[in-house]
Structures are given as C-alpha cells and as structure tokens.
Amino acid sequence: MCRHLSPVGNVTYRESDTPRGRALMLDKVSQQPQLLENPDFQSAIYDAELSAACRTHCVSHFDEAGLLLAARRDIVESGKIPAVVKQVADSIKALKLALKGDAKAEVIYYVDRYTERYQPEMAAATEKILKAAGVSFQIISGADTGKALAVLGCWNEAKETAEKFAKSIRGVGKKVLITSCPASYDLLKNDFPKYGIDLANELEVLHTSEFIRRLVKAGKLSLRPSTAQSVFPLASDFLGNYNTGFTAHEELAALAGVTLQPFGFNREESYTAGEGGVVMDELNPRLVAKLVEHVLEQVDNPSQDMLLVLSPYTKYVLSKFATKKLHLTTVEELIAARIKE
Amino acid sequence: MSNNLTTIMESSRHAGRSYVDAMIRSELTDAVGADYVSSNAADQLGHSIDYYWIPEMWHDRGRDNPKAQYIVHPGSAEEVAKVLRIANNYRIPVTPWGGGSGSQGGALPMYGGIILDTKRMNKVIHIDTEALTMTVETGMNAQHMEWAVEKKGFSTMHFPASIACATIGGFLAHRGTGVLSTKYGKIEDMVMSIEVVTPEGEIINTLPVPRHASGPDLTQLYLGSEGTLGVITKVTLKIHPIPQCRKFHAFLFKDMHQAMTAGANIMRSRLRPCVIRLYDEPETARLIKRVLGIDKQGAYLVFGFDGFESVVDLEMTEAIRICMRENPEDLGEELGQAWWDNRYKFFYPPYMFHMPQAFGTLDTVATFANIEKVYWAMKNVVNQNFPEAAFIGHYSHWYEWGCMLYARFIVDQPPKDPEEATAYYNRIWDMAIRAAIANGGVINEHHGVGLKLGRLMKDLYGPAFKVLADIKKVMDPNNIMNPGKMGFRGV
Ligand SMILES: Cc1cc2nc3c(=O)[nH]c(=O)nc-3n(C[C@H](O)[C@H](O)[C@H](O)COP(=O)(O)OP(=O)(O)OC[C@H]3O[C@@H](n4cnc5c(N)ncnc54)[C@H](O)[C@@H]3O)c2cc1C
C-alpha cells in the first residue's frame, strides 16, 4: 500500500504511520477491540495526519481517514480517551461563539480559531475584500464549528457544538456563509447533514476563495494587473481530498494573473503539515514540527519562493515551526493586495 | 545467536523488560538516536507481516506472528554499521526491512531480534547529467525516487506495480523489475555500483562501473542477496531521458501459443519494445475483461515502444507486421493504451485476490524453447492435484532468449485452520515450482526467494547451493543477517 501518501510515515519512518501499518492495526483491533486501549495503538491512531490522500490517489480508493476517524470515535466512546486528547477537547468545548454586526448583512463570515488567534491578517484581508466589493457582512467567531471535536473522536460533543453553531445563525434570512477554514467548510458542507442539521434552505456555504471568485467575475472587484509573480500552492486536504474538484483558488490566481507552479516532488502527498488533523499542533507539536521540516525540504528557494497556503492552520504551523523564514500568503491576502483602490 | 540470549530476550518481552533488554536498547539508542529505536506494539505488528500470504493468513485467522524486539531506523551507512556491530556482539538476528512489500516473507523477523528499517535513508545524493546516473540512499521509496529524477527531466524507467510502497533497496535485494524491463532491464541491469554495510559492520563500495575485467562482479553478488549478506545503503543507477513518445498496440490471438509465437518473433527480430505483455486465455477472460472491458475469448497481447516518434512509428509498423502473421484480431492502439493507463490496477483490490482466498504468484523464467513447457507443467500439476484451484498467467518481462511467466493460483476456500492452510499452501508451491525446475524454469524471476521458497533452493541449484552457503558463512560468520531466509541456515 502506498507509502508515498503518508506524510507522518515519511517523517517518522514508522510502519504504524503508513497506510498499511494503520490498516493492519485497525484490522487487529477489529479482532481484539481491547487493543484500542493500548497506548501504542492509540498514539498511532491520534498521530495520523488524516489527509485523506488515499481517497484520491490510492488505486483502490482505500478510505484510511474514514477508518481512523471511526477508530478515534470508538476510543472516545469506550471511555479510554487519551489524556492529551481530552485536554484539547475540553479546551475547545469551553469556547463561546459570538455573532457581531448588522443582522441584515448579506454575508456571514465565520472566523475560525486559527485565523482569529494567529492569522489576523487573513481576516483583515477578507474584510478589506468584502468592503471593497461593497458586501455587507456579519462576523461569527470565538469557537469551533464542531469539526475539531469530530476529528478528535468526540462525536456527541461535535454534534452539540455544531447544533449550537447552527442555532446562532439560524433564522437570519437567506445568506451566504463564508469561511477561510477548509476544515470548517467541510463540516458545514458535508457533516451538518450527518448531524441532522439542515441549513440548506437558509445558507449557501462557500469557501472565501469561491466567494471572492464570484465577486471578481461579477465585476464587483477589480484587480491590479499581474506582477508576474510565481507562486507555489500547497494543496489543502479538505479542499482537495475531502472535497474533490475544488479549483476556486486556482481560478482566482489566474484571474489575478498569478502563475501557480507545482510544489514539491511528490505530486500526491499532503504538504499541509496536518490540516486534516485540524488541531494536530495541539495534540503533538513535535510531530507537526517534523511535518513542517518535511515541507521546508521541498522548498527549492526559501528566500524567494512564495507559498500559497490554503488553510489558516497550515499557515500558522508553517510560521511557527519552520526553521527558516518562509514567504507565505493566502488567497485572501493575495487578492487583497491586488485590489484597485 | 546463542539460545540463552534468545530465551532471555523472549522472556523479557513477555514478562516485563529485563536489564538485558535495557542494555541493548541503550546501545541501539546511542547508535541511531532515541526517536529511531522502537519496541512499540503498533510498530511490531506492522513489521510482522509483509505481502507473503502465510503471515497475512495467520493474522487473518487471529494468530500472532513473530515480532522483532527492536525496530531501528538508521539514518546513514555509519549508523547501519553501528547497529550491525552491536548485533554481532550480542549475536542478535537482524532483518532489513524496506517497504515491507515483498511477497516472499524476506523481511519477516522470524527469530525476533532487530528489524533494521531503511526508510530513513531516503535522500537523493547526486544526479549526474553527463553520465546519466543518479545516486540515492536505498531506503528511498521508488515512487519518490522517480519523481525526484523526473523533476530534473529524466526517468529511472523502473516502474514496478509496487512503486508506491517499495524501496529501491528492496528491489536491489530481490532483483526486482518494472513494467518497462524489456527495454530498460531489470534492476540488476540498471545498477552502476552500490555501497554495502557488511554483516560485521564494514562499509564497502563496489566498482564504479558495471562493465570491467577486474575480477568477479561484487555488485551482482549482493543483488538478490535479500539482506543475508549485508545491508545495501547506497546505489548509483542509470537514468534516461524522458522519451518523446510511448505508443502501444494490442491484439487478441486465438490462443496463448500463437500469441507466444508473435511475442517471441518480435524479440528474435531484435526490435526493442519497452514492454510486451501476454495474457493466457483464463487471465484474459478473468482480468482483461474486468479491467479493460474486453469480453472476448483468446489471448490478449500488448506491446509498446518508446523513444523518438519517427523511430517508434517504424518499430510499431514492424512489430504489427510480425504479429499479423499469426492472424490475430487487431485491437488497435486504444486498447493498448488503456492497458498502460490501468497497468497498476491489476495488482490491487478489487482486482487482486484477498483473504480468505489463498493465492500465490508462481513467477519463473525460461528460454522460448521451454517457457510454454514450464507453463503447462505448472498448470497441469496444480489442476491435477488441486482441482479447486484456478490457475492463470501472463508473460511480463521479455528477453532476446525467452520470457518471464507470472502465473498465479487462486483457491477460494483454503483450509480454515492456519496450520493446515500452511501445509496446503506449501504443497501447491512445492509441486508447482518443482515442475518448473524440471522443465527448465527457475524458482523465481523477480520476487526473490525469502522464507517462502528457501527450502527449494537446493532443488534448483543442486550441489552449487553449497557455494552460496559457503559465501554466506564466510561473509556472516555469526549468522546475524536475515537467518533462515533463502535456504540459508536459521538460528
Ligand atoms: C501490489 C504489489 C505489486 C508488486 N509488483 C512488483 C513488481 O512489479 N516488480 C517487482 O519486482 N516486485 C513487485 N512486488 C514485490 C515487491 O514490491 C518487491 O519485492 C520489492 O523489491 C520489495 O521492496 P521493499 O522495499 O518493500 O522490500 P521489503 O519487503 O521490505 O524487503 C524485501 C527483502 O529485501 C531485504 N532488504 C530490503 N532492503 C534492503 C537493503 N537496503 N539491503 C539489503 N536487504 C534489503 C529484506 O530483508 C527482505 O529480504 C510487488 C508487491 C506488491 C505487494
């Protein structure tokens, strides 16, 4: 089974961090469920990057991420949640949502935790774009949508959190909800129905890049001509493997006259440093540092190359853990910098 | 390895760790670093099963497989040398492990001890664009290696179906091959030179070029030695320009014999196809139908040429002319290209066989005069003695003098009891392989020997096996390197 698809395996070199090692482990667990309590098995299950690359690139479309998520849920439901996972889950549960701005606005902009805490420049760029296009918006922020809890295996708490999130935006009329966070986008688009939450008649969920593309195409935003900059995109797990066919960022880059160059030599590996794990930096920062180093090794020219990062999580961990300074940008920042004033 | 130490280590594994374990672990940690020594249960499980059917079946039936006490990930030849010196000192068996994709049980730690996982040695060291060679560490994943060199505008032309899971070291250790071998060769044809850490921890290099008259060829001695003579840590391989084009053409012949005549004639004409693949009638009916949707009776044959387009077109014309002499149905370029596009699918679910089925790849090679005899001898022995088994085959890798047969047996309901299933499985292998040997075949062409076929090495080599066994004895006096594999002495 494909070893080239396993970023964690590619930095730890451990068999239990490869798709085959994980499959063997889960198969053994299905024979002997008590093994879910084994700390070695638990740590391998929680160290997984969950990039879901196997869904897209495996010739047999082995759903490794789906199986690992199910195993995490089994661990939590058996009451054997590892201490670090419980600690992270508790801190997420304690967060409170806040909705600000004019209730009549056309758009709700969800600012996820990573953007809010570590990447205010992404939120600033998004707000600048919305204002320039004359779009009225409300901001919802302060808490998780439920995705982080779901990925930690805390299904019931994830459902409750998602319901709270839905309640806070329900009944505000038909709106577009945008977010820069690919994990939240995935939850709002794909997981809500699994929790029995139906907002389809009220909300259109878009990633910020999809919404900005719409604004540019509608002529609501005009962009300065290209400076012919070469940019290397780091594909997103949630906007790629979990939601295949997502190309808004590529189209936007083209509209902005930016040439995208392929990043890294492994065309199928995830270079998000654990975006699929949503809060991987909180669970195992040492491992994330190794994943970041692995990404860094692929940058031909760290002092010059501009990396286009598609998630606030990835931007944060690359800024925090890289041992060399990297030039990082996001779709929001790239476009905001090109708005004709 | 001393029996006492085995016992101490075994008991320490089962009844809590002893100071012996702690002592050895601290030495290994000193050699490779704390992050790279593990006795983690999840890793031990992962390293207890490769793609050999027996341990997979054993696992499937809820049994445990033998596990390594220590899994080490050295980052360089120097660290490998340190590990081997420790192992020699304490007489601990060492089993090299690359991607664990071997089908012969070669990487299984059957006596416990140390698994020496090579994956951390994964760097491209140099690409020489003048000689067209690349030097890499052998723990590198073969797909990574290919993409790294493609980024520079070249290709290794090594495209095995396990490209995404195996390491380049694994292919060297097993004399592996890729789909384009007919033109570009097996791995042993691609190698310029290698670096090896000997069982006693010496780092040596073989000669820098593969053609010389400076004594016997050391490189070739190590290729195919499956970790029994040392650890291959670096390799310099030939690389190739990316061809201007690669074209395919497919035919359906009335039967396998006619298709074989056409394939052999292409090779005898000294045209240089990059690939020829010929499926017998049962495999055409079973797999070609499912993967390519060709629902017809007969034997499917596809070939391809690559290089400058003008040359390729010329070669294609001649090869088509040769095939047409046997009166096949011309399936055209499209159904040839479709085969290439789907070439890896044949080896993975849902097209590949899976538990609880028993299956095995009886791959062998012989001259054109013998290869069909080998096919029928194997098929007859399987059909007559195991009527419940299906037997299918294709011919994958072609030479000027003969070709390789990739035959498979599949049993849907092997015995449930793992001991019985093991005995049953081995009986099929013994009979089929002995039938191949009796008709001019060998026990394997590119998957190697490992644990699976070790017992048949004496049947194949006769008295010459002693030469191999003596080489092993001299080079590995303490018998630490992968004991019990390839027919060599166990612990
Ligand atoms: C789906 C599938 C398709 C396959 N297709 C092909 C194919 O097209 N062509 C082909 O040739 N094979 C194929 N194989 C078989 C397998 O991939 C090869 O045998 C491969 O060479 C094994 O490499 P590995 O790195 O996985 O080695 P492992 O399985 O880890 O080890 C194999 C043997 O090599 C030894 N070894 C590993 N690395 C070293 C080293 N650096 N130095 C010394 N000894 C070492 C081990 O001890 C062991 O004996 C296939 C297997 C699968 C599962």
Give mean pLDDT, residues B441-454. 98
pLDDT digits (tens, 9 = 90+) for B63-117: 999 999 999 999 999 999 999 999 999 999 999 999 999 999 999 999 999 999 9
pLDDT for the residue numbered B422: 97
pTM across the whole model: 0.94
pLDDT digits (tens, 9 = 90+) for A186-241: 999 999 988 999 888 888 999 999 999 999 999 999 998 766 567 999 999 999 99
Give mean pLDDT, residues A173-193. 92
User: B120 and chain A: CB distance < 8 Å anywhere?
Assistant: yes
Q: What distance in Å separates the CA atoms of residue B443 and residue B460, rounded to the nearest whole number?
A: 7
Q: In chain A, what residues touch B45 (CB-CB under 8 Å)?
A: 16, 21, 24-25, 28
Question: What rounded mean pLDDT belongs to chain B?
Answer: 94
End-to-end CA distance of chain B: 6
Interface A:B, Cβ pairs < 8 A: 88
pLDDT digits (tens, 9 = 90+) for B326-350: 999 999 999 999 999 988 777 766 6
Query: Is A229-336 the same fold as A93-217?
Result: yes
What's the CATH number where B33 sits? 3.30.43.10
Are both B130 and B236 inside the same structural domain? yes
Are both B63 and B142 inside the same structural domain? no
In a domain, B468, yes or no: no
Domain locations along chain A: 3-81, 93-217, 229-336
A interface with B, Cβ–Cβ < 8 A, is: 1-5, 9, 12-16, 18, 20-21, 24-25, 27-28, 31, 38, 40-41, 43-44, 58-60, 265-267
Residue of A nearest to B345 (CA): A59
Q: Which atom of ligand 1 sits closest to the CA of residue B347? A: 1
Supply B313's token pair. 């077109």
For residue B71, CA distances in Å to A39, B37, B204 come to: 18, 6, 24
pLDDT digits (tens, 9 = 90+) for A273-292: 999 999 999 999 999 999 99
Are both B233 and B145 inside the same structural domain? yes
For residue B346, CA distances in Å to A22, A60, B389 come to: 23, 10, 19
The CATH architecture annotation of domain A93-217 reads: 3-Layer(aba) Sandwich (3.40)
Are both B55 and B87 inside the same structural domain? yes
More confident residue, A63 or B149: B149
- B4 has a pLDDT exceeding 50: no
CB contact under 8 A, A24 and B49: yes
Q: How confident is the model at residue B14 (pLDDT cuts 50, 70, 90)?
A: very low
Supply B10's token pair. 């075994």
| CB contact set of B168 (below 8 Å; sequence gap of 6+) | B98, B136, B138, B140, B142, B145, B235, B237
Contact between B262 and B299 under an 8 Å Cβ cutoff? The reply is: no
pLDDT for the residue numbered A269: 87
pLDDT for the residue numbered B367: 98
Q: In chain A, what residues touch B150 (CB-CB under 8 Å)?
A: 265
Say whether the peptide bond before residue A182 is cis (omega within 30 degrees of 0): no
pLDDT digits (tens, 9 = 90+) for B121-138: 999 999 999 999 999 999
pLDDT for the residue numbered B15: 47
Q: How confident is the model at residue B8 (pLDDT cuts 50, 70, 90)?
A: very low
Give mean pLDDT, residues B384-388. 98
B280 Cα to the center of ligand 1, angstroms: 26
User: B67 and chain A: CB distance < 8 Å anywhere?
Assistant: no
Q: Three-class SS of residue A217?
A: helix
pLDDT digits (tens, 9 = 90+) for B317-330: 999 999 999 999 99
Domain that holds residue B323: 245-272+283-288+296-339
What's the CATH number where B300 sits? 3.30.70.3450
Q: For CA atoms B449, B450, B452, B457, give the dihedral sign.
A: positive
pLDDT digits (tens, 9 = 90+) for A31-56: 999 999 999 999 999 999 999 888 88
- B166 has a pLDDT exceeding 70: yes
Q: Which atom of ligand 1 sits closest to the CA of residue B179? A: 8
In a domain, B180, yes or no: yes
More confident residue, A304 or B247: B247
Sequence-distant contacts of A70-74: CB under 8 A, at least 24 apart: A71/A26, A71/A29, A71/A36, A71/A45, A71/A153, A72/A45, A72/A46, A72/A151, A72/A152, A72/A153, A73/A153, A73/A155, A74/A29, A74/A33, A74/A36, A74/A153
For the Cβ of B118 lying below 6 angstroms from any atom of ligand 1, the answer is yes
Contact between B54 and B452 under an 8 Å Cβ cutoff? The reply is: yes
- B1 has a pLDDT exceeding 50: no
pLDDT for the residue numbered B474: 98
Give me the residue label for tokens 């808004």: A248
pLDDT for the residue numbered A229: 66
DSSP state, residue B284: I
- B429 has a pLDDT exceeding 90: yes
Give mean pLDDT, residues B261-283. 97
In a domain, B135, yes or no: yes
Best residue of A1, A2, A3, A24 to probe chain B, by most B CBs closer than 10 Å: A3
pLDDT digits (tens, 9 = 90+) for A249-274: 999 998 888 889 988 877 788 999 99
How close does chain B come to A39, measured CA to CA in Å? Answer: 9
pLDDT for the residue numbered B10: 52
For the Cβ of B263 lying below 6 angstroms from any atom of ligand 1, the answer is no
What's the CATH number where B220 sits? 3.30.465.10
Q: Judge if ipTM > 0.85.
A: yes
Best residue of B52, B64, B97, B119 to probe chain A, by most A CBs closer than 10 Å: B119
Supply A122's token pair. 């992404």
> Topology of A229-336 in CATH?
Rossmann fold (3.40.50)
Instruction: Give the count of domains, chain B.
Output: 4
Are both B165 and B99 inside the same structural domain? no
